[in-house]
Amino acid sequence: MTKRTPPQTLSKRHFFRLGWKLMVLFAVGLCVIGLLKLQSELAAPPARGSRRIRADAFVGSPKVAFLFLARRDLPLDFLWQAFFENADVANFSIYIHSEPGFVFDESTTRSAFFYNRQLRNSIKVGWGESSMIGAERLLLDAALDDPANRRFVLLSDSCVPLYNFSYIYNYLMASPRSFVDSFLDKKEGRYNPKMSYAIRKKKWRKGSQWITLIRRHAEVVADDDVIFPAFKKFCKRRPPIDASKGKQNSKLQKQHNCIPDEHYVQTLFAINDLEGELERRTVTYTLWNESATKLETKGWHPVTFNYANAGPRQIKKIRDINHVYYETEFRTEWCRNNSTPVPCFLFARKFSKGAAMRLLSEGAVGSFDASALLQTQT
């Protein structure tokens, strides 16, 4: 006769085995979730807080990050090769925003300093569009990943240095401030009232896009997630006049007109009450020429330096500038570095290949005594 297990005992065993299996499955599930989370954290970019912690703990030689905003290649790479070859590689880093997919290698540049220095996440940039400041933010974000980078210089593909590396390095490191051209925009109607939820009109500023930032200010720009979206939505360039559209041009010209890269950083810093921490001037010289056509309203356009007008005399003239006057604020900005009088400009634009070749051949961009500058600070 078969012995039968009491029903109560059977239910207890069954419950115990089921519970044990559930605990094993739960533990395995936790392990899988943990591994997936760890993998995603390793693949993700450093968190903003962790990036700052690493930077604060940094000990070593501080770098200047040169951030090139290029259409495609760097036509003046041969001049920058001469500039960087006499510098200590521990004192600088290079980042390039070019068109998506463009690679800097031996077939696209004459300088090994630029090999593979392009951003992998670059975007298509349009003049006068928010994509321009989007590209600037990408450059800053990439450069901030290196805790050694302490100064961040934004340059165009037509910029040239006016001094040797040693002078420019000491000039920038001696100042605890950022160099940001910034002034009140009283004459133009670029402020869009629809921005008022994020940007008050009294904080609206204008200035050159060619900025030089200390690390803390670079983080403010790269980490901004409030003002940049407002610019993308409400600061847009008016469509250019098209002769083929005839009378429709008058309607198009009534649209609001705003050039994002001439306002973004300046306005962002004003909103964050950082203007007191700035040298409110750019260190990149531009010669402006007033021009007009039948299809354009009066405007200002940068002069391109060519072989004929880029000789030593012109370079000396730029170097000798020691102040900038801001008409809208009736303000004269005397160029100083930690209270020490200094030349206003370290770089200049827009230079053609011929102009850059003349600078090299005639030694216009050569050595300079940097002893007048204060001792390097980090």
pLDDT at 34: 55
pLDDT at 254: 57
- What percentage of the chain has pLDDT greater than the value 70? 74
Quote the CA–CA distance of 34 and 27 in Å, as a whole number: 11
**What integer is the mean pLDDT of 22-46?**
56
Residue 152 pLDDT greater than 80, yes or no = yes
Residue with more model confidence, 152 or 54: 152
Most confident of 148-157, 233-242, 295-304, 362-371: 148-157
Q: How confident is the model at residue 186 (pLDDT cuts 50, 70, 90)?
A: confident
Residues 196-208: tens digit of each pLDDT: 999 999 999 999 9
Q: Which residue has the tokens 């964050």?
A: 272
For 232-260, the three-class secondary structure string (H helix, E strand, C coil) is HHHCCCCCCCCHHHCCHHHHHCCCCCCCH
- What percentage of the chain has pLDDT greater than the value 90? 63
Quote the CA–CA distance of 322 and 112 in Å, as a whole number: 35
Half-sphere exposure of 224 (CA within 13 A, CB side): 27
Q: How confident is the model at residue 371 (pLDDT cuts 50, 70, 90)?
A: very low
Cβ atoms of 63 and 92 within 8 Å: the answer is yes
pLDDT at 196: 94
Residue 94 CA from chain centroid, whole number: 12
Question: What angle separates helix 227-234 from helix 264-271, to the nearest 10 degrees?
Answer: 140
Q: How confident is the model at residue 2 (pLDDT cuts 50, 70, 90)?
A: very low
**What integer is the mean pLDDT of 31-54?**
54
Residue 244 pLDDT greater than 70, yes or no = no
Q: How confident is the model at residue 370 (pLDDT cuts 50, 70, 90)?
A: very low
Lowest mean pLDDT among 28-32, 199-203, 323-327: 28-32
Residue 10 pLDDT greater than 70, yes or no = no
| Cis check: omega of the bond before 350, within 30 degrees of 0 | yes
Residue 17 pLDDT greater than 80, yes or no = no
pLDDT at 292: 44
Residue 149 pLDDT greater than 90, yes or no = yes
Residue 41 pLDDT greater than 50, yes or no = no
pLDDT at 18: 63
Quote the CA–CA distance of 334 and 79 in Å, as a whole number: 30
Residue 249 pLDDT greater than 50, yes or no = yes
pLDDT at 62: 97
**What integer is the mean pLDDT of 348-364?**
91
Quote the CA–CA distance of 282 and 153 in Å, as a whole number: 10
pLDDT at 366: 55
Quote the CA–CA distance of 15 and 308 in Å, as a whole number: 94
Residue 46 pLDDT greater than 70, yes or no = no
